[in-house]
Each structure stands twice: as structure tokens, then as C-alpha cells.
A and B are shown apart, each in its own frame.
Chain A
Amino acid sequence: MNQDKIRNFAIIAHIDHGKSTLADRMLELSGNVSKREMTDQILDNMELEKERGITIKMNAVRLNYKGYEFNLIDTPGHVDFSYEVSRSLAACEGAILLVDATQGIEAQTLANYYLALENDLEIIPVINKIDLPNSDVDKVSNELINTFGFKKEEIILTSGKTGEGVDKLLDAVIDRVPSPKGDKNAKLKALIFDSVFDSYKGVIVHVRIVDGTLNKKDIIRFMSNNSSYDVTEIGYTTPKIVNVDSLSAGDVGYLCASIKNISDIKIGDTITLDKDPCNEPLKGYSEVKPMVYSGIFPVETREYDLLKDALEKLAINDASLTFTPETSKALGFGFRCGFLGLLHMDIIKERLQREFNLNIILTAPSVIYNVYLTNGEMVSISNPSDMPPMEKLSYIEEPYIKTNIFTPSEYIGPIMELCENKRGTFINMEYINETRVNIHYELPLSEIIYDFFDKLKSATRGYASFDYELIGYRQNKLVKMDILLNGEKVDALSMIVHKDFAYNIGKNMVNKLREIIPRQLFEVPVQAFINNKAIARETIKSMRKNVLAKCYGGDITRKKKLLEKQKEGKKKMKMIGSVEVPPEAFLEILNIKGD
């Protein structure tokens, strides 16, 4: 296809603003998918994605419209995956900025807009869900005009539900999105923006050809690690798979090359030809590094191998999931897992439980601390129990973020209070319109990986949206807090806290543990220690009653069942020394930090 007739674009939006539904209407209108074949939201195909209404893994589809080749590249809608978003935007010339007519601009609208701008894209502003009775097109138009400087006549109104305006939008894509300007005859440069594992074909690599031509049977080279592979298949999806013999500058499609391991494929990497490589890779590539770490342990030790298999299977399709064996004195053998963020962690946890039916314990997530030692060395610590002893420490740095918090102005007070409680530093506040603001704070990342989202939601009755970017490391008075149960240190409950907040956190923590851990046959002291000094103590009283008071003829079989149920309940407990601890206890401590 002549590059003049190609349009590569993405839809960017805040969660729930209707991106997938709109994409479905586009597929339908271009005749790619008949109405009968439409199941709602074709682009979201994982069960979890459907449930949460968000896209985790993206896809690209090619559609034909009025003689043009459209490549619609879907993007994940969450801050955890912002690097992937930026790389899929890099594969486009244009972006549809979708805003819900009932909600207006939200935190991720802004974040995505800037990502699109960084990638030099032509942005088409669209107000969606105009069919809803509570839509306010004028107000949202003004927000788009005032915040981003769009002109009123640029804005397109659509309804993903009824299909209204979708044809105008597709026309606007033809008119406004520039065609690709690659050089078909130059040396091959292809951008990897996604990869998916397929058990028959190996890794399927989604690419945008920037320059040159890729042919079947070419030998390709990945420029980040110089590994080379024989191409076995080239094609694109409509969303059905269509095989072709070549892809050339401007095209979006996929390739297979018998790649067994998804971690060999780096999003953002450049593919070139092995025999005739280009001189320079495309800009913007970086290694994705986990931001949050947590220990995952099987409740029952014998399920370790099952957990290992499950993690390996998940990692096949998720290059950003990392895991290494970890041994905890309290929890036994498990894995230290790295995640892009809290949502990513939550998804992995749920998939392990649902798809693999595993009974697991997650320990409280930790960020990566830069720990400077007295001898001048620096070590990165993502597991509080790896913290060197106090006397060897010089100082500790922790990662910071800058927030975009979009909120109706009446919630400014509660949000500021929340951020201050989370050790935040106020930067400034921008008014989007008379009633809505964007609040910027600098916050330690560790404070938002706990309960920040939930607290923000309840403080603003769900009206605020939130996004952040990392802004680097800062030194703080941080200390490691240990928890002792019945006199034994429970490594899996250790955490790194700010010294000024330690006393409160310790008090809340032992209190919470006293509530969560059921009474045992003996008394159990629960203590919080900092640097071998107790700062808080509670006692779990010994159990007094566990008896079936009454048991006559009619009760006997029922009572046996009750006992068997109790026995099952006991099996789910984790033995820490001689104390039975419910697995929730290890995550429950998340809800304590900032209280």
C-alpha cells in the first residue's frame, strides 16, 4: 500500500471513557467485523480485562475504510504501563483523545495527552458518550479548549454506544492524521510496540515498520542485544490473522521468528536486518524495570512447585513480571516478584488465585530503596528484610513521584490533608475550569502503593482521578521496623518506615495484628521493634472457648461437619513458629501504614 493511504493511530483515554466500545464501532463501520461476530469490546480479550473494564495487553488491528489502510493500535489504560503506552504511541502518527461527555478531563487524559505530544502525534479531540442524558458537551468542550488549546471546530462528538459520529471521526483520521513518511528503500528499522506469547508460534512481535521492508524468511536482528532470528511468519490482524509476504515502511503488523522466551523481546527495541543493519536504533528505548516488589509464598509449602510453574506461565506473556526465589524464615520458600505497579501486582495475584487455583500469601509491597553504607557503597533494597544492620547504614533514599490529581474544587481540602498525611510536599494547583483543579504534590512512592487510591476515592466520593510520574530519589529518615510474634521476628512483616511516623505505624500494626490473628491456645505477644527497641506491644489473649456446648442425637452428624469445617479453616492458616496466622494478615498490614 502506498504510504499516502496509510493512517496509524491510537485511542487514548482515561479509564472507562469508552475507548474499547468506540474501537468496536470503528471495526463494525469499516466492515471488518460483522454485527453478528461482535462480542462486546473485541480488543479486550482477557477475562480480567473485561471484568475491570480496562485493557491490560494491547493489540493492533488493521481496518480498511474508503480505500485507506487504518492501523488502530490499542493502548493500556493505566499508569503502571505508561512506558508501553508511549511505545505504542511511537508507532503512530495520530491519536484520538477521547473524553467522556459526562466526566470531562481526568488525570489519565492529561497524562496520555502529554505522551502523545512527546511523540509528536496529531491529536484529534473527541467527546464520547454524548448519548447519555447527563452529558455536558459544552462544559467538556471548554475544558478541552482551555486545557489543551484545541479549537472548538476540531472537536468531534461521538457515541460508542449508538455509533453516532463515528463516521465523522474516521473521516477526520483520513484528513488530519499525517501519513507515514518512511523510506521503503532505506535499511530496515522496525519498532517493537507489543509482544504476545503463542504456544504454537512462539512470541508474536507487533511492529511498526519505520523504514525499509521486512520479508518473510529474512534474518532479523534485535538491536538492544544483537540477537538474531529467522522470520517464519509475517502478517497483520483484522482482528483475524492475515498472512502476508512482506511489510514495508508505514505498515503495522506482526512477525514470528520461533522466539521461545518473551523476555528476549524488549518493547521499544528496534528490529533491523542481520545482513544489512541500520546504523542507529530508534529513539526512546529503555529497559522496563519493576517499581514495586512483593514476596509471593504458597500457604502450603508443597505448592511451591505449582507456584513456580504458574509464575513461569504468566511470565511467558508478561515480560515485565520478574521473579526470583526467596526464602523467608516465616513463610518458607517463595518468590520475590517485581511489578510495574500496584495494579500489575493485583492482576498477577488474582490470576494466580483464579487461573491456577493457588492459595498464596503476598507480603506487603515494597519500593526500591537506595541504601548508602558507611563504607560509601550503595545497595538497592527491595525487600525490607535485606536491610543491612543499622550500624552499617549511612543514609537511605526512596523514590518520589509527582501527582496529577484531578478533582472538583470542593475536595481540595480533604486531598491536601491526605497528601500531607502521606508525607507529601505541595507543589501547585492548576484550574482546569471554574470548578475543577489539577493538584500537584510530590509524594514518596511507598506512600501511594499502599492505600492511597482507596483513600483518595473515599475522600472525594469517587470524583477525583489520579496519575503520577516518577521524579527520582530523595533522602529521608527511614528505618526498618520489625514485628515479633510470640517473641520471634517475622521477616515477612518487616517494613521500612519514616522515623517520624514509626511509632504510630508500629502501634497500629500490632493492634491490627491482634485483631486479625485469632486467639491461640496460649497467649501471644505482638511487638513492633525498631533497631532492637520495642516501640509497641499488644497481646493476643489465649483462646477460652472452642466447644460444641450441646451435642445430642440430632446434632451428631452436623457437629462432625462443623469440626471438619474448622479443620479446613485451620489448613488455610500459616504456621509462624507455633502461631497460626491467617494469610490475609500479611497484606492486611497495607491498610495500616498511613492511618
Chain B
Amino acid sequence: MIKSCYIHIPFCKKICSYCDFCKIYYNELFINKYLDSLENEINTFYKGDTLDTIYIGGGTPSSLSINELNRLFDILNKLNRSNSIEFTIECNIEDISKDKLQLFKSNGINRLSIGVESFNEDNLKFMERPSIDINKINLAKKYFNNINIDLIYALPNETLDILNNDLDKVLSLDVKHISIYSLIVEPNTKIKDIKPINEDIDYEMYKLICNRLKDFNHYEISNFAKEGYESKHNLTYWNNEEYYGFGLGVSGYINNIRYTNTKSINHYIKNNYNRDEEVLLKEDKEKYELILGFRKLKGINLIVYKNKYNKDLLDNQKINKLLNENKLVIRDNHICICEDYIYLQNSLLIELI
């Protein structure tokens, strides 16, 4: 049974300087055709599973008009939902309004992920994003209890002070979940040629974040949640479990195949999904299990691993080497990366894969 589903809405009113996601400028004509194709895709591939999580991401899903959103939710009504469903939509500050919040709520959304990225004007300018109106967040809080705020740090000219201020602000908003990422300079973006921040400062910032957010459960490298508010949807990814992905350029993982849809809107609206597929063998799945599982601070559940792959992870010599070097550690039937190496985990992963 597949229990998670990701829906991609690629439209944006403005393109942020750092973004390398699959996105296009907001365009009414395209949106209707897009939603038609999305409906067709779901009809074609969705097998009626009862879902525990649905996540509408983007792009900027909140940029859609009320009518367009209604259409979207109509389509998503086809997805069967468990009683404990976590249903998230990503939302930009400027799109927050009573009407939209009401609409989200009445359609079953119970988790809002707000793209703040920073409260600092210089940072926002660099990212080419609008200023933050705190009132909008407070408004959202009236409708939703489970709110995530997305932040980005380690911008080229950022200082520890700027980050500290951002952390002050986000803490004062008292939300249940914070995702906070170190900026990745991606090749196909406006900022591709900038020099990334010095890695020592980046690390200092990471330590500062861990320290300032210690009342939260730091459950994944870049994710912090109040107890019980960890993102079930994202844990699907990190637990290496299968999920549906519908929409332009999305990835999904179904029946041992990791697939990625076409990134061409023209193909997509013609119901031409051109899926790129990676068929996983057992050893590929094991690799993914490590790459994803070690992102969680709690690590990989040894019993689950054994049931899944019919072998003991502790029989792996490479794992044992890292255990002996005190880079990995075993705690409560889980194996995880030692705190000192969390931010260096690629160096460990490349020894394991």
C-alpha cells in the first residue's frame, strides 16, 4: 500500500533567484490545461490506496486563484484519505488571505507550509523575494495549528547576527515546525556564479541553529518540529517508502521504480508524462535506505531494516568500520550518525554506497 502522495503546482508569480525547482510563470491558460492533465495523470496511475499524507508543493500552489484552487481540490477529492491524514499545502506570504485560508481548511488541509526564507531585507533582496508581513502569519495561525516555516541561511553575505535575528523572529511566531536549509548554489539558477559562503561560517550557523532551536525535535538535518509535529510526509521520503508523485517534473516511487516526469509543460499538458525511470534492485534500495535514513538524527531502525532486506545492517563491514571509528553509533535499536559528523555525512555516505 502506498500511503503518501505529492502534487506539484509549478506556477509562480515571481521566480526566486536561487530556485532550481521545476517552475514556470503564472499563466491562466496553462493552469487550466495543466489541471486537466493532472487529473488525467491521477486517473491513470492512482490505484485507490488510502493515503496518510498528501503534500501540495510548488512552484507556488497558493498563487492559484480561488476558482483554480477549487478545481484542484475537486481533482484531489479522488484520493482516498485515512482518518489521520496529514494534508499540507505550500503557501507564500503574499497569497495568505482569509478566503484562501478558509478554502484550504474546508478542503481538508490541516498543515500549512509557509515559505518565509528570511525576515532580513538584504537576504530577501538577494533571493528576489518580497518583504515579510508578520500579520499574515498570525492570520494563518488563526486557521491552522500545524504550521511550518521555511527558512534559508548561509547566503553569501549573511552574518551570524542576521541569522540570529531570523531565528529570534521565527521563534517568536511559535510555530510547530521549522525547515531551515543552508543555501545550495545550483547550476541552473540566477545565482549560479556566486561564491558560496565560507564553510566554517556555514558550520557556525548550523551550530547556532541547533542551539537556538533546542526546544524542538531536530529530527532531520534541516528539520525541526515540536514533539508530535514531525512531517509525516517528508518522513516517507527519509524512510525510503514508496509514494505517488503527480505533476510537472515530479518524482515518485512506485513498485520498485523511482520515476521523474517530463519537465516540459508543453508535453505535460498533452498528457505526455515521459517518465524517466530507475528500476531499483535490492542493492539499490539498500543504498537509498542508507542515503535517506541517515538524514534522520535518530537514524535507521535496525529491526525495520532487517525485516525489509532480510539481513542485518550490522553485518556490513563498512558500517562496522564507521562504528569503530565512532562516526556511527547504535542507540535504541537504531543506528545513526554521531552528532559531530551529521554535517559531514556525505563523507560517510560515499564510503557506504
Contact = CB atoms under 8 A, between A and B. Distances in A.
A521 B342 CA distance: 12
A465 to B, nearest CB: 38
A549 B183 CA distance: 8
A578 B260 CA distance: 40
B131 interface: no
B200 interface: yes
Interface stretch (B160-168, B264-272, B285-293): B285-293
B22 to A, nearest CB: 8
A553 B288 contact: no
A564 interface: yes
B249 interface: yes
Contacts of B184: 548-550
Contacts of A39: none
B344 A552 contact: no
A586 B36 CA distance: 60
A471 B256 CA distance: 73
Q: Bin the interface of chain A by size.
A: 20 to 34
A551 B345 CA distance: 13
Contacts of A551: 237-238, 292, 295
A547 B221 contact: yes
Interface string A521-563: 1000000000000000000010111111111111111011001
B200 A556 contact: no
A566 to B, nearest CB: 5
Contacts of B245: 553-554
Contacts of A559: 291
Interface residues of B, number: 43
B26 interface: no
A579 to B, nearest CB: 14
A553 B350 contact: no
Nearest to B291: A560
A217 interface: no
Contacts of A545: 182, 199, 202-203, 206, 343-344
A152 interface: no
Interface string A496-514: 0000000000000000000
Contacts of B292: 551, 556
B243 interface: yes
Given A546-B346, A548-B346, A563-B346, A553 B6 contact: yes
A148 B288 CA distance: 75
A294 B295 CA distance: 46
Contacts of A329: none
Nearest to B342: A547
A547 B344 CA distance: 6
B234 interface: yes
Nearest to A543: B344
Contact of B237 (A519, A521, A556, A563): A556
A544 to B, nearest CB: 4
A554 B8 CA distance: 10
B181 A550 contact: yes
A283 interface: no
Contact of A521 (B183, B206, B249, B347): B347
Nearest to A520: B347
A594 to B, nearest CB: 30
Contacts of B349: 563
Nearest to B245: A553
A218 to B, nearest CB: 65
Q: Indicate the member of B200, B250, B252, B349 with the most A CB atoms within 10 Å.
A: B349
A72 to B, nearest CB: 54
A58 to B, nearest CB: 48
B278 interface: yes
A521 B351 CA distance: 13
A567 interface: yes
A553 B250 contact: yes
Given A543-B344, A551-B237, A557 B258 contact: yes
A553 B345 contact: no
A557 B237 CA distance: 11
Nearest to B205: A545
A513 B347 CA distance: 21
Contact of B343 (A547, A554, A555, A567): A547
B299 to A, nearest CB: 15
A196 to B, nearest CB: 47
B314 to A, nearest CB: 22
Nearest to A552: B237
Contacts of B353: 560, 563-564, 567
Contacts of A553: 6, 237, 243, 245, 250-253
Nearest to A550: B181
A567 B253 CA distance: 24
A563 B260 CA distance: 19
A554 B258 CA distance: 10
Contacts of B343: 544-547
B301 interface: no
A566 B346 contact: yes
B40 interface: no
A477 to B, nearest CB: 41
Given A549-B184, A553-B6, A554-B21, A544 B291 contact: no
A313 interface: no
B185 to A, nearest CB: 11
A557 B346 contact: no
Given A544-B203, A545-B203, A550-B184, A560 B288 contact: yes
27 contacts: A521-B344, A541-B200, A543-B199, A543-B347, A544-B199, A544-B343, A544-B344, A545-B202, A546-B347, A547-B221, A547-B344, A551-B238, A552-B234, A552-B237, A553-B237, A553-B253, A554-B249, A556-B237, A556-B253, A556-B258, A556-B288, A557-B258, A560-B288, A560-B353, A563-B353, A564-B353, A567-B353
Given A549-B183, A551-B237, A553-B237, 19 more contacts: A519-B199, A543-B199, A543-B344, A544-B200, A544-B202, A544-B203, A545-B199, A546-B345, A547-B182, A548-B184, A551-B295, A552-B237, A553-B250, A554-B8, A554-B249, A556-B237, A556-B253, A560-B287, A566-B350
Interface of A: 519, 521, 541, 543-557, 559-560, 563-564, 566-567, 570
Interface of B: 6, 8, 21-22, 181-184, 199-200, 202-203, 206, 221-222, 234, 237-238, 243, 245, 249-253, 258, 260, 278, 287-288, 291-292, 295, 341-347, 349-350, 353
